[in-house]
Amino acid sequence: MLTVSQLVKDFDFKILAGQDGLDKEITDFSLKRPSAELVGFLTYLTPERIQVYGRTEMGLIQQLEPAKRRENIAQVIVERVPCVIVTRGLAVPEEIIDLANERNIPLLITHQSTTQLFYLLIRYLTNRLAPSTLVHGVLVDVYGVGVLITGESGIGKSETALELIKSGHLLVADDAVEVRRVDEENLRGNSPIRIRHLLEVRGLGIMDVTTLFGAGAVRDEKEIHLIVRLEEWKEDKFYDRLGMDSSSVREILGISIPEITVPVRPGRNLASIIEVAVMQSRLRKLDLNHFSL
């Protein structure tokens, strides 16, 4: 859940009025510049969105007749509005301040331009409010490719991640991966805060990767490009021997991600296999994976 209070903290906004509404929940990642609404066109008010007031909106308010100014603003700044943000440090009319206090709508001030704030806020809200799910696995950054390693408990996911870290790759999350759908095509993964940058290896316990390998061995989040599923070697199962079977995918939050299955048996270097799998995946995307047999 994202509240106005968290938004204020993350963007360092100044609170001018409506402090009692800081616990309001933000549910819509879109923003609203209510220019048309301020002059009476209320069809597309969308009160669940954050309202942003820049020079245009303040100019329209100043042009309203004093007798109608509060009436028009009151039709726009309604109770359901999570907060109102005024950009460029512009002077705020008393009518807006009074309504913010009366209706417990946080009135926030920033010196950023409206365009810059829109870019930063949309990106922030899209990321924070994206549909999400929790996946059991390990997420690593291998050659810039986000690899989600999955498999049964005890199969060796964390041990494989440790070998990859020792080879210079980066840990994103171990054991639990928070996966978010940030748009229609991309998934991003990160670690829950309580276990961020921690890696659990049976026999060694829980280790802090930043302490052992340095801050350059971890990253907070990564787009997921490839899923590698580890499974116990089955003698009666056919495994791809030519590297031509790339049709397997796994769907997460409605997005299909390429998935390969790697059988686990003693003596196999899983970290090296994943490195090569990543290189093959990159070659396929570049349409360079053509073999002459």
What is the sign of the dihedral through the CA atoms of 260, 261, 264 and 268?
A: negative
**Whole-angstrom Cα distance, residue 45 to residue 65?**
21
Q: Which of 241, 265, 287, 290 is catalytic?
A: 241
Which neighbouring-strand residues pair with 134? 178
pLDDT digit string (tens) for 21-77? 999 999 999 999 999 999 999 998 999 999 999 999 999 999 999 888 999 999 999
* Residue 24 per-residue DSSP state: P
Does residue 136 have an active-site annotation?
yes
Q: What is the pTM of this model?
A: 0.72
> 103: which DSSP letter?
T
Three-state secondary-structure class, residue 148: strand
> Residue 156: how many CB atoms within 10 A of its CB?
19
Identify whether the C-beta of residue 231 lies closer than 8 Å to the C-beta of residue 156: no
- pLDDT value at residue 137: 96
Give the model's pLDDT for residue 293: 42
* pLDDT tens digits, 223-235: 999 999 999 987 7
Catalytic residue among 175, 196, 250, 268: 175
Q: How far apart are CA 291 and CA 244, in angstroms?
A: 9
The whole-angstrom separation of Cα 53 and Cα 91 is: 11
Quote the CA–CA distance of 147 and 224 in Å, as a whole number: 6
Non-local (6+) Cβ contacts of 247 within 8 A are: none
Class of domain 132-285: alpha beta
**Two structure tokens written together for 57:** 């909106």
Which residue among the candidates 68, 111, 136, 285 is catalytic per the annotation? Answer: 136
Active site residue 175: yes
R_g of the chain, CA atoms, integer Å: 25
Instruction: State the Cα–Cα distance between residues 220 and 209, nearest whole angstrom.
Output: 12
Helix (H, G, I), strand (E, B) or coil at 15: strand
Q: Does the pLDDT at position 238 exceed 80?
A: no
Q: List, by residue range, all CATH 3.40.1390.20 domains of the chain.
A: 2-128
Closest CA to 45 of 17, 21, 10, 74: 74
Q: Given this model, what pLDDT does residue 124 score? A: 92
Chain region(s) in the chain for CATH 3.40.50.300: 132-285
Residue 196 falls in the annotated catalytic set:
no
pLDDT in tens, 162-214: 999 999 999 999 999 999 998 888 999 999 999 999 999 988 899 999 999 99
H/E element, 37: helix 35-38
Neighbour-count burial for 106-138, b at 16+ CB within 10 Å, e otherwise: bbbbbebebeebbeebeeebeebbbebeebebb
Exactly one of 32, 49, 157, 197 is catalytic; name it: 157
Residue 290 has pLDDT above 70, yes or no: no
**CATH topology classification for 2-128:** 3.40.1390
Computed from CA positions of residues 45, 46, 51, 56, in that sequence, does the dihedral angle turn out positive or negative?
Answer: negative
Residue-wise pLDDT tens digits, 194-206: 999 999 998 889 9
Q: What is the DSSP letter of 13?
A: P
